[in-house]
Structure 1
């Protein structure tokens, strides 16, 4: 087993989309964890990687038929290795949250981990799948907020984006439907509008948030509109990949609106890195 195989298993480039969730929550709540705010993005990354490994463990029989090139069906990674990795990363995420943020952070981290495991092991192939995944990302925003209510609306925006992208992703292999793509475009539009309309801390913050929200809507929404017109597997897969990476733009918009322009800029810089890395290891 090579490092490349594990990177492919956990969709490594896509982990760059995870830290922004908890940073959105922390910025909205006024950085409740103080100097330990770095720990919540680390927790988010652990949960994201765990979810990807668990996804391939749970889908190993389906992937053997539909995506035999994946690490488990191609025998490059053993199923028990994927399960052990998912378990270890989940435990690491919970441990980091508890050590850095105490009981409050640990209580906020448990729903994120629970939703991720529920999605992969039970809900993914059901109609509830996209909703459960959306809850996982929404809870991840609240993790960074330490439970503060000020992060509820940003959490809903991130959850809306996730709902649309997850629903659209179901057509990656056999093709999707125009209805799913239009639905994804609707949730993207709602998320962008939420980010643009949330009251900012200053005119400069409002302008930055609006610019980021517009860029997000054009990038992600444009790909979804193309999938709505041509819902074949290749177009849907491309739109899904754009949506997976595109959440960074939404996160930056939500953070910029709070006045944390440096953090928003750092998030935006992850976008090009994710696109470059995606040429080496697929994020979907």
Structure 2
């Protein structure tokens, strides 16, 4: 009985390393890219069963790909931070010895490989994007996250490329929708910048810069309406919901950059990625598709109660 309990606890620890709540936000990136590619014709009506399966199969592969890529990336984040976590976060799976360092390396490697292999099922271009995301994630984990400027930029590139991975379901659309990557790049840069003080506290100037980047992102969601095939009015309610979720905690963290308020802002920012994606997806399609993406939010919030987000 005791052995079974220890085994269950160890499996749970490895699951914690993958940060399931965050993986759900990566699914939202794929869904908005899928919408921007023009492939979301299945919402709100279904053409026929054959067309639906043909449309959803590549989407399924890309959702599996981002699961592996994001999961592997965050597992390696704990691998590279094992010594630091032993001092600052001894309750984490590796320093608490609930998960071994070797086991984490194997898990992270398998997840990254799974991500690339799943992307190959869609196209070689998708596989190339997946490989870029995997390498960028590893570079962030090992080197860039300790740099004030390149850390946020590197993490933003991972999320921007993840959105384009969704667009790659129609390869030719990448040349038309490449600029969409800048929205998650800037958004994640804001979160990553402010998160640098979540353990020991941050600086007010960093918090206000992050807040300014958030305002840029929200404005960009609406300014996409300058495109002929994007509806800002449809995206507006989602953008307003996004602003209500993230501006208050970011403002509080900027005004008083103590670890507790910074962690609250980071959690709100990470989980609100789904709202950001829902807003852009709705603009490219309709409210029905936007709401379909938004359904991921309560799922992610539920998982966030069980697993660490930061």
Q: TM-score, normalising length from structure 2?
A: 0.86
Is 1:189 the counterpart of 2:218 in the alignment?
A: no
The range that moved more, 67-76 or 44-53, is 44-53
Is 1:212 the counterpart of 2:234 in the alignment?
A: no
Partner residue of 2:96? 74
Is 1:65 the counterpart of 2:78 in the alignment?
A: no
Which of 114, 132, 135 is the equivalent residue of 1:111? 132
Partner residue of 1:261? 287
Give the unaligned 5+ runs of structure 2.
1-6, 41-53
Partner residue of 2:177? 151
Contact 1:138-1:159 within 8 A present in 2 as well: yes
Give the CA RMSD over aligned residues.
1.8
Quote the offset at 1:52 in angstroms: 1.0
Contact 1:154-1:254 within 8 A present in 2 as well: no
> Separation in 2 of the partners of 1:93 and 1:237?
29
Q: How many residues are paired up?
A: 282
Quote the offset at 1:260 in angstroms: 4.4
Quote the offset at 1:209 in angstroms: 0.6
The alpha-carbon distance between structure 1 residues 163 and 233, as it changes in their structure 2 partners (threshold 3 A), is: same
Q: TM-score, normalising length from structure 1?
A: 0.94
The alpha-carbon distance between structure 1 residues 93 and 37, as it changes in their structure 2 partners (threshold 3 A), is: same
Contact 2:69-2:130 within 8 A present in 1 as well: no
Q: Secondary structure at the match of 1:71?
A: coil
- Equivalent positions of 1:40-189 (< 5 A) are 40-99=62-121, 101-127=122-148, 128-146=150-168, 148-189=174-215
Quote the offset at 1:74 in angstroms: 0.4
Which of 245, 254, 259 is the equivalent residue of 1:228? 254
Contact 1:25-1:155 within 8 A present in 2 as well: no
Partner residue of 1:20? 28
Compare CA radii of gyration and give the structure with the larger one: 2
Contact 1:28-1:150 within 8 A present in 2 as well: no
Contact 2:221-2:232 within 8 A present in 1 as well: no
Give the unaligned 5+ runs of structure 1.
none
